[in-house]
Amino acid sequence: MLVRQCLLLTAVFLSTSAFSDPKKAYEAWRKGDWSEMVGQCRALAEAGNTSCQFLMGQAYKSGLSVSRDLKASASLLTACASKGYLACEEALGDSYRLGLGVEVNYIEAARLFRLAVSRGSTWGQNSLGNLNRYGQGMPVNKTEAVRLYRLAADKGNPAAQANLSDMYRLGEGVEKSGDEAYQLALKSSQQNWSHGWNLLGLLHLYGVGVRQDTTAAIGAFKKAVEPSVRSPVYIAYGNLAGVYYHGRGVPVDLTESAKWAEMGVRAGNADSMVYLANILNRGAKGVAIDRDRAFQLARQANELGLRSAKNTLAVFYRDGVGTSRDLARAVLLFNEAIDQGDINAAVALGRMLLDGKGVEKDSGRAHQYFLEGRSQINNLSPGNLAFVESYFAQVPSPNNNPVNTASTSSIATQPTPSNTALAKKPPGVIADASQQLLLDRLERMQKQLETLQASANTLNQNQVTPIQSQAAVRRALVIGNDKYRHVPPLNNAREDAAGVAAALGKLGYSAVLHQDVDERKFKQVLREFRASLEGGEEVLFYFAGHGVQLGSANYLLPIDVKGDHEDQVRDEAIELQRILDDMKSKSAKFSLAIIDACRDNPFKGSGRSIGGRGLAPTTAATGQMIMFSAGAGQQALDKLGPQDKEKNGVFTRVLLREMVRPGVPVDRVLRNVRNEVVRLSKSIGHEQTPALYDQAVGDFFFTLK
């Protein structure tokens, strides 16, 4: 009987394996044809074929054309690893590292990774890099992580390329470099590695190492979750949901956000859980309100350790969304989120402190939180943004502010309410919240605002209009010099200055334009500009023309400069630092100097050895940004060749395109300009990398809409 059963099993295996082929399965794996791979390998894996056990183990781990089954994955990988199959050793180590189908065991993971590395596995190198990066079973060692990632990345490993890209993106273990991050993510994505696609999406979304392009970012995120991609990264679902939820470069679309978030929830992505929870709480076109599920999703995301989930869950406890109202728990969660740097939690707790809801009333600390919120306005949710703007519209300056404004330190440097007597009472919970419904003026304003928002959502739940922040007075001085009398004239500077002045005027600046100014006029307009400035304004200075460095100082040249020797240039030219000091002395809220003066040395070839090409590196004061159209020793291009008919120089033409993009902070606009200028100059074999010096505090915008 036993012989007969063995014969029957052999016959079944032979009849099945006759239609199965490990080589075809691997080819399907390389192409991302998961259905073909499973069809070729399922029976062979069950029969003990090690290569198919590996492939099916990975299929079950990621849910590739089969239902995700982590225990089945671990079982298959254990079986082939026990036979010394190299790929299975590394893959099983990854399961132990992440707790996929087995208990987390970093020691066993490291043993398996080292075993794989000893036999030449780049995947083992990459995975050992992960252990070092995150301090799993060993101390955190980001330098060692970079070394291991680089070893594997240089051999073409797509996972290591993606991980090394992320290290360059964040500046972990290496100096931050957008260019390196982009090139590595590109290489990884070209091998259809999901993490590479996801990183490429992030780099495009925020303009790191590449021009900011939301459309390209969305395309990359979608690639990261396509059925054919290798090793899906489910955070891409959350990134897609976030693009549409926040309206990052696209109109806010809660329906589209919910679609991607729902997919992410099914895949277990915590970010998707929070986005969907917030949408289910408020509803959207085609998305019914479901507050019970919203609460469960927020709680699940918090249990998974997602920072932003604490703030959402705190709001739900505060408002009784899908659960009983629990102000004490809300305060506790807000404090935990603030300790982790969540600015929305700070503003939300500030609103409770302002009203004395769930905590003792403390308008001074509330004001500090609102100040911090205003300094990070680009990171605020629409509701908190609206509240902060309305609050400061009612409290326009410290002189009119009834609360203590002595401390304006950031959340990261000041004690949080969890460390004060405020939260130790314990923690000032009110037995009956209805006793606190005597609203002061700010609470009435808040209620009216929420009513208006609710009405807007009823009219069109699927569209949210960005709120333009209350703008400071904005002044700009723009100068363009072409017609030099004693040094080579220029062709684009007047046109560049005119274009910038016109653009700034449309963006709400009081812009004053001067062209072809001599020394006397230059100094006069600077005096007039300085006299017009008042504290708290946003100030911009733009110059296009000739500039020269003398020693460590930079000078802008009026059209009548002679410059027979250095001392004469110092007397006749305008020192850039003087202009920067003028803006600083007037206590500008934010000042920006853009200098498109890195042409070739105007004194070259005239027998005068004065200065050199480009401008010297400089230092921005606190609250200032400075941008030069080219780096030290580089020449800024006017044209991209004889066929270039553009009326503006290369740097300024890019600046004019980028500065009108709504909702992009100034520092990101300038980085986008730099990335695009680098790309354009490289296209004709020239090196031009605009230099940016940034000491601004907070987010500032050319335009929000």
Q: What CATH number did the domain enclosing 593 receive?
A: 3.40.50.1460
Q: Let me know whether 587 and 441 are in one domain.
A: no
Among 190, 206, 226, the domain boundary falls at: 190
Q: Let me know whether 487 and 434 are in one domain.
A: no
Residue count (the chain): 705
Q: Is residue 595 part of a domain?
A: yes
Q: Is residue 636 part of a domain?
A: yes
DSSP 387-436: HHHHHHHHS-SGGG--S--S----TTTS--GGGSGGG-SSS---S-GGGG
CA 657, CA 646: separation in Å to the nearest integer?
13
CB 115 within 8 A of CB 90: no
CA 25, CA 295: separation in Å to the nearest integer?
43
- Tell me the three state secondary structure of residue 4: helix
DSSP tally for the chain: helices H, then strands E:
29, 9
CB 77 within 8 A of CB 95: yes
Q: Let me know whether 379 and 490 are in one domain.
A: no
pLDDT number for residue 483: 94
Q: Let me know whether 443 and 483 are in one domain.
A: no
CA 217, CA 222: separation in Å to the nearest integer?
9
Among 190, 210, 231, the domain boundary falls at: 190
- Tell me the three state secondary structure of residue 601: coil
Tokens linked to 320: 């009784």
CA 592, CA 579: separation in Å to the nearest integer?
11
Q: Let me know whether 59 and 155 are in one domain.
A: yes
Q: Is residue 618 part of a domain?
A: yes
Among 157, 173, 190, the domain boundary falls at: 190
Tokens linked to 481: 């010099």
CA angle 148, 122, 185 (to 5 degrees): 70
Q: Let me know whether 402 and 478 are in one domain.
A: no
Q: Let me know whether 379 and 523 are in one domain.
A: no
Q: Let me know whether 156 and 19 are in one domain.
A: yes
CA 678, CA 669: separation in Å to the nearest integer?
14
From residue 263, alpha-carbon distances to 275, 276, 488, 635 in Å are 12, 10, 62, 50
Query: Which portions of the chain are predicted below pLDDT 70?
Result: 1-20, 378, 395-471, 563-564, 599-614, 704-705
CB 490 within 8 A of CB 545: yes
Q: What is the CA radius of gyration of the chain?
A: 30
The one-letter code for the residue type at 231 is S
Q: Let me know whether 558 and 412 are in one domain.
A: no
From residue 255, alpha-carbon distances to 232, 237, 258, 463, 663 in Å are 24, 14, 5, 9, 21
Q: Let me know whether 488 and 417 are in one domain.
A: no
Q: Is residue 215 part of a domain?
A: no
pLDDT number for residue 358: 82
Q: Let me know whether 564 and 659 are in one domain.
A: yes
CA 349, CA 365: separation in Å to the nearest integer?
10
Q: Is residue 464 part of a domain?
A: no
Residues 6+ apart with CB under 8 A from 355: 361, 436, 439, 440, 442, 443
Q: Is residue 229 part of a domain?
A: no
The domain that contains 13 carries what CATH number?
1.25.40.10
Q: Which domain holds residue 14?
A: 2-190
pLDDT number for residue 614: 63
Q: Which helix (H) or strand (E) holds 291?
A: helix 291-303
Q: Is residue 271 part of a domain?
A: no
Residues 6+ apart with CB under 8 A from 669: 658, 659, 661, 702
Whether the ω angle into residue 426 lies within 30 degrees of 0, i.e. cis, is yes
Positive or negative, the CA dihedral 283, 287, 291, 296 is negative
* Structural domains counted in the chain: 3
Q: Is residue 588 part of a domain?
A: yes
Q: Let me know whether 23 and 146 are in one domain.
A: yes
CA 214, CA 661: separation in Å to the nearest integer?
12
- The pTM of the full predicted model, rounded to 2 decimals, is 0.55
